[in-house]
Structure 1
């Protein structure tokens, strides 16, 4: 990972996509007005990307006030790094900002992402458009050396980049309205709209059927309508765009035909009601709320009645179910109890994603929305994302490294920062491997990942640090050094997998068990 750093202001679809693409190469800091993020960390970065929203005014023009407010704040704090604006802008906005803030190094680098595929489109762009001084552009592009060298880099003026971004989405709007107009003509004469459009798709000058497919309805989403409106109202009469808007207004919206996967969350809990309350609060704040939350507890747990009260209160905002653990009285038994219930509640296990949250951990408000979206973008069976480790409640958490590749042997010696709370997996895959191993009292997450890989499932890595892991050693935890449960778990894990380890892996496992957890592992095990 390089010594350069970057910051992202505005943690929406674009902001998290920027982090996903750049964070494997450079350390980062994120900031958003929603959530608990440090502005001071942003000021310490070498380059900052502004990805805040620029919604449409009633008059059709873009509202860039959020961008302006960020620039004022950076200027007042004497930020000296490069500032790259990725938000879509009013025509002429950059020239005004350069004149208004002469001390700032301002660049415009519009983003051309598909809303439903922002992560994968950022890492595989069609082009890089950038405007600014030669020195600033050169420095910013040094952060993108990982991009395929065949991707064109288009260095242009601010005004050209602003109009180019808007023109791109206006062109998409034009294609959609053209298709809807052809669909209407076909309906009038009894022609087959697919046959008609196939004559266009076959032309060598048409590279994609995207936006030229009948019966998809009018254009919509967050960007295409407002960007088209900005061009439409930016000056003199726009004859073509006026027609594009008119066709879109009279086009009938179509109902979505694709069934979306369901999303469930499982929280095993044991005598930690205050921690559970925090975990549930983080779920209530999610941008995407799960379809069902299963809280699982042993019936003889001393906090059972307190947990009942917490779940009843939470059920007003979340679809929650409190389950009594009917299997082994450990984390694996609790998870399997919920998996069994979920199998009854959702008949197509292949269309359900499972998110697990340890009761003493919590999620960033973007976690479920981002991993859910990324799973559908990549078609992966399970997703892992980054952990933020909190070992001292008085200090900020520390971002843990995220593995680039996920293989069985990486779990033999240690845990590569994959735990229940950052594991997002298809329900059918968990069922197919028999759920969690109930003989394992600890080290369960490593075992599940090994068996998922053995079963041929496909993982994918989302480079967003979205999961807060409570590693406070001032209280008793499952992984506390010398704990009986940790000792039993490590010894069982070694018996199960030592035959697959090479000599150096076996020695490293024993040394780590002794040094970190005071557990001696012998070959007789």
Structure 2
């Protein structure tokens, strides 16, 4: 079996790492072989590294700082670069600092990987707000077109992908503010030989809008810019119907109108 590496990108938000991501990693039945924590905006102090490492005492924790454009995409790509120096290949399991893995998440993904042959393993994901579960997304048989109009359930925190495959995709799009998971999925699904397996069970809790600077915050500047960037990258692939579906979803979920997004695209 391939090694498994957990990757966390954070601004850093220490309180969320302490409350959510690191305890979830430590609780895994199948512990990752290494945890890579990438800080986006500054170095971790020695004291912070010690505090965070104590939360996952059974796992090796490696710290890094984003070496690319500021944001989650650059931080995840930095994590890939760190792992590329540690392993010939491995599975990369991403978890956002404010999300939660169920204790069986990594063992379920590993068991579904066909002994390390799968490029990607996707598990189900709860969309949670506070203590309420708003939706349960259990992806299966996903296609590129699904991600042009929305997201059927491939988020950051249920990404489980071979490092070699992530690098073949080209990593995340540096500088893309939001919609990173959809952009990455579209490019991954363009690979003719991509082998995706599905656990068909929920093992991840995606906590939405826990802070005003969340990339998915309703009506936020970061969501507007990220959506405009995504439209500029992939709008040409959309049919007229898909384009309408894209704008309808952006307005209903995030309060962003078609005219506002298109004006933002024109200003880029």
Query: Normalized against structure 1, the TM-score is what?
Result: 0.47
Q: Which residue of 1 aligns with 2:22?
A: 280
- Contact 1:442–1:490 (8 Å) recurs in 2: yes
Q: Which residue of 1 aligns with 2:129?
A: 391
The answer as to 2:61 corresponding to 1:320 is yes
Query: Whole-Å Cα distance in 1 between the matches of residues 58 and 13 of structure 2?
Result: 21
Query: Whole-Å Cα distance in 2 between the matches of residues 473 and 317 of structure 1?
Result: 28
Any idea what SS the aligned residue of 1:387 has?
strand
Q: Do the aligned partners of residues 323 and 381 (structure 1) sit closer, same or farther apart at CA in structure 2, a change above 3 Å counting?
A: same
The answer as to 2:150 corresponding to 1:409 is no
Q: Which residue of 2 aligns with 1:295?
A: 37
Residue among 166, 169, 175 paired with 1:430: 166
Q: Which residue of 2 aligns with 1:367?
A: 105
Query: Whole-Å Cα distance in 2 between the matches of residues 416 and 455 of structure 1?
Result: 19
The answer as to 2:195 corresponding to 1:458 is yes
- Contact 2:127–2:205 (8 Å) recurs in 1: yes
Structure 1 residue 414: Cα displacement? 0.8
Structure 1 residue 412: Cα displacement? 0.5
Which stretches in structure 2 are left out of the alignment for 5+ residues? none
Q: Which residue of 1 aligns with 2:184?
A: 448
- Contact 2:26–2:56 (8 Å) recurs in 1: no
Structure 1 residue 318: Cα displacement? 1.4
Residue among 247, 270, 273 paired with 2:11: 270
Query: Normalized against structure 2, the TM-score is what?
Result: 0.90
Larger mean Cα displacement after TM superposition, 356-365 or 274-283: 274-283
Q: Which residue of 2 aligns with 1:340?
A: 81
Any idea what SS the aligned residue of 2:76 has?
helix
Q: Which residue of 1 aligns with 2:2?
A: 261
Q: Which residue of 1 aligns with 2:114?
A: 376
Matches for 1:22-171 after TM superposition, within 5 Å: none
Any idea what SS the aligned residue of 1:280 has?
helix
Q: Which residue of 1 aligns with 2:219?
A: 482
Query: Whole-Å Cα distance in 1 between the matches of residues 211 and 25 of structure 2?
Result: 25
Q: Which residue of 1 aligns with 2:70?
A: 329
- Structure showing greater Rg: 1
- Contact 1:311–1:322 (8 Å) recurs in 2: no
- Contact 1:387–1:417 (8 Å) recurs in 2: yes
Structure 1 residue 299: Cα displacement? 4.6
Deviations 1:100-144 (A, max 9, x none): xxxxxxxxxxxxxxxxxxxxxxxxxxxxxxxxxxxxxxxxxxxxx
Structure 1 residue 378: Cα displacement? 8.4
- Contact 2:73–2:180 (8 Å) recurs in 1: yes
Q: Aligned residue pairs: how many?
A: 260
Q: Do the aligned partners of residues 398 and 429 (structure 1) sit closer, same or farther apart at CA in structure 2, a change above 3 Å counting?
A: same
Q: Which residue of 2 aligns with 1:518?
A: 255
Query: Whole-Å Cα distance in 2 between the matches of residues 272 and 264 of structure 1?
Result: 21
Structure 1 residue 415: Cα displacement? 1.2
Q: Do the aligned partners of residues 378 and 407 (structure 1) sit closer, same or farther apart at CA in structure 2, a change above 3 Å counting?
A: farther
Query: Whole-Å Cα distance in 1 between the matches of residues 47 and 221 of structure 2?
Result: 27
Q: Do the aligned partners of residues 312 and 510 (structure 1) sit closer, same or farther apart at CA in structure 2, a change above 3 Å counting?
A: same
Query: Whole-Å Cα distance in 1 between the matches of residues 46 and 243 of structure 2?
Result: 44
Which stretches in structure 1 are left out of the alignment for 5+ residues? 1-259
Structure 1 residue 314: Cα displacement? 3.3
- Contact 1:413–1:508 (8 Å) recurs in 2: yes
Any idea what SS the aligned residue of 2:70 has?
coil
Q: Which of the pair is proportionally richer in strand?
A: 2
Query: Whole-Å Cα distance in 1 between the matches of residues 40 and 144 of structure 2?
Result: 32
